[in-house]
Structure 1
Amino acid sequence: MKDKVILQFDPELGRGAEGKHVRNGLSTAFHSGDNIWLSCDERTTVERLTLQPDGSFGKHKSFDLHEYLDLPAKDNSEIDIEGMGMADNYLWLIGSHSLKRSKPKRHDSIEKQIKRLAKVKNDPNRHLLARIPILKDAESGDYTLHKETDDPDQPGRKLRAAQLHGSKTSSILTEMLQDDAHIAPFMSIPGKDNGFDIEGLAIHGNRIFIGLRGPVLRGWAMVLEVEPEEDEKGMLHLKQLANDKPYRKHFLNIRGKGIRELRFFGEDMYLLAGPTMDLDGVIAIYRWRGALSREQEQLLHHNQLERLCEVPHGTGGNTGKDKAEGLAILDDKRVLVVFDSPTDDRLVGEDGVEADVLRVVE
């Protein structure tokens, strides 16, 4: 069962300096109270929309992450935000951490197009795992970001923005994965080539689950689990876990699909899964029951995952469009899905776009 909801963006905030409208590149979605938080894959901002009386989300506000974090590239180099989550009065964000291969340009000569396919770029801001204090404003009822603020739950304690230590070419996470038996061979491969590519973030207390769109190993997708901790200088590091590593790996047989988004639902986890490479294919939502029940690495065969529903994707004349990227839980029965490269049918006026509301529990 599917319904629609309109996401209405502000005309001045919706279109960035590069000309791409935020509605055309939605990469993640998160629901908190009356707010939907969104990001566009080519920006260094996060967008907040608020529930309106007619059921749509509007009253758009944009938050520039340069004001809260020390981004490696001081210009507007994209973060490629691919996951958001919330816990303990913090909004968590993660970049794709992936390499990017240049696209051929049709108007160029064949020689130039071939050369472009050999170019691989590393955007510094993509190596981001960070948290920003987020509190509900008593007057407006909207959640708002802060660089530093008092903790309402622990008097005398400060909440402050922090991020995982990193450089312009890597982070602590990617440096540690360079020696991993499953992931290391893919670290130098661009994301859209089945290389290392983060898409999805889910938070539960100190436990952070990171979904990988790639690599997919013989049909098996991976979810990483880490537990960041803050040092006296306000930087985040990765806690050493019981397996004598700073991360756990969970393996899920989703029959060749990679992770597009992760969301907790009680002790369970919802997985938005689709093609790992740049192609059309089935996109579906799965349920990983008891994802939080054990603090150890898990391996789930296909029949151990519950397939909840399929998500629409572009086909035929709309090939390459309606790529489901973000998943937000609205209530105990419904989820909201947002799309990168929406079809014309989804566009509403000059600044709106339709998201799908799917019933996953009867």
Structure 2
Amino acid sequence: MHKRIVTHVAGLLSLLMILVVGPACGKSESPSPQASNPPGRWTRIKEEGRYSFRGQVAEDQDLSGIACISDRFGLIGADESRDVQVIEISRKDKTLRVRDTVSLAPSGDEIDIEAIAAEGDSYYIIGSHGISKKQGEVQSNRCSLFRLGVDPATGRPTRPLSLERTSLSDILRADPVLGEYFAKPLQLRGVNIEGLAARNGRLFVGLRGPNLDGNAFVLEVGANDVFGGKSQPSYTLHRLQMGPGLGVREIVAVRSGFLLIAGNSASEPSEKYTQSVDYAQDREFLMVAWDGAGAEVHKIGPIPDVVGKAEAMLVLEEAQDHVTVLVLFDGPRQGRPTIYRLY
């Protein structure tokens, strides 16, 4: 299997990334007169209020993924569910209204939905590809990657559904770096996916674990390669200098590259796994910028006023001197959708 680990900054690629149009849900604005930090080099985070849900949110204390296909429509998912839900976004009222529910699997164990991305006329939904952190159970549904087709006229999933399903298990299991950690629990540096972004037909898969020698990982692969049935699709394993004990908990595309949430790479001890490598109960959730090419990351700072676990992020707008995001938390009722401005 062809593979390469990126360890240096590709200057030309970084420059091109700045010119790429941002995600579908993000709105562009002119820079403010106080502009001081270039895109991706923000140094401050400010909370700016909250959104609220309308309608019945499934597994509302376990929300783990959000993405939008347009300014109006998006998709949410929870890690204790096999379903995703279509939401209608109102910026004026700051509401997320549940409009439809789509089942990804008719039966079986939970998919452990960990992240959602959107590009073009498709949503991508990914499971953790890891074993359960409490009992170490292997559940095949967790090793799933879905592509859900969207009607461009309505912003909603097509009817009948256009739903494809594949897995990244073969790539993860065979990789010379990640392979020995596949099917291990998070407490022992096991492979676990928690972030997903899409850009130019390529998927950027953020791994919560393992963290190896202070490095976190993002796996980049072509969407059509993995859904096209290639037995050995080429891919890139990016090594990010995140620091000890930190893994990728979310990743979204922005014009300057990618914005990540970083947090504990390990999980808290359980009855079966009483010791956890690198876990810190008081470790903060951080906003991190990455250019999408090199190993270096820029730590913007800790997310303020965290309740539960920062699990999902949506770009609301982008300007030359700031970006505004919506973060969902695992734990509070209805995810406590909180607006943050990075500047």
The TM-score, its normalising length taken from structure 1, stands at 0.70
Correspondence 1:6 to 2:51: yes
**Is the Cα–Cα contact under 8 Å of residues 97 and 128 in structure 1 kept in the other structure?**
yes
Count of aligned residue pairs for this structure pair = 279
**Is the Cα–Cα contact under 8 Å of residues 314 and 327 in structure 2 kept in the other structure?**
yes
Of the two structures, which has the highest relative contact order with CA contacts closer than 8 Å and spacing of 6 or more?
2
Letter in 1 for 2:308: D
1:107 aligns with none
Deviations 1:263-307 (A, max 9, x none): 111251111111112244111111112x2xxxxxx541xxx3222
**Is the Cα–Cα contact under 8 Å of residues 284 and 307 in structure 1 kept in the other structure?**
yes
Deviations 1:45-94 (A, max 9, x none): 1123223475222331342224xxxx4xx425211111111122111111
1:336 aligns with 326
Correspondence 1:125 to 2:151: no
Q: How far apart are residue 236 of structure 1 and its match?
A: 3.3
Q: Residues 341 and 193 (structure 1 numbering): CA distance in 2 closer, same or farther, change over 3 Å?
A: farther
Segment of structure 1 superposing worse, 259-268 or 186-195 = 186-195
38, 41, 61: which one aligns with 2:76: 38
Which of the two has higher C-alpha Rg?
1
The TM-score, its normalising length taken from structure 2, stands at 0.74
Letter in 2 for 1:129: L
Structure 2: segments with no counterpart, 5+ residues? 1-45, 268-280
Letter in 2 for 1:340: D
Structure 1: segments with no counterpart, 5+ residues? 16-21, 103-118, 150-159, 165-170, 292-297, 315-320
Q: Distance in 2 between the 1:221 and 1:238 partners?
A: 26
Aligned to 1:59, the other structure's residue is in SS state strand
Q: Residues 269 and 34 (structure 1 numbering): CA distance in 2 closer, same or farther, change over 3 Å?
A: same
1:237 aligns with 229
9, 14, 27: which one aligns with 2:64: 27
Q: Distance in 2 between the 1:192 and 1:272 partners?
A: 20
1:254 aligns with 242
1:76-155 aligned at under 5 Å gives the runs: 76-102=108-134, 119-138=135-154, 143-146=155-158
Q: How far apart are residue 95 of structure 1 and its match?
A: 0.7
Q: Residues 312 and 194 (structure 1 numbering): CA distance in 2 closer, same or farther, change over 3 Å?
A: farther
Deviations 1:321-342 (A, max 9, x none): 5200101100002011110012
1:1-362 aligned at under 5 Å gives the runs: 1-10=46-55, 13-15=56-58, 22-31=59-68, 32-52=70-90, 55-66=93-104, 71=105, 74-102=106-134, 119-138=135-154, 143-146=155-158, 160-164=162-166, 171=167, 173-229=168-224, 236-238=228-230, 246-256=234-244, 257-278=246-267, 279-289=281-291, 291=292, 298-300=293-295, 304-312=296-304, 322-332=308-318, 333-342=323-332, 347=333, 352-361=334-343
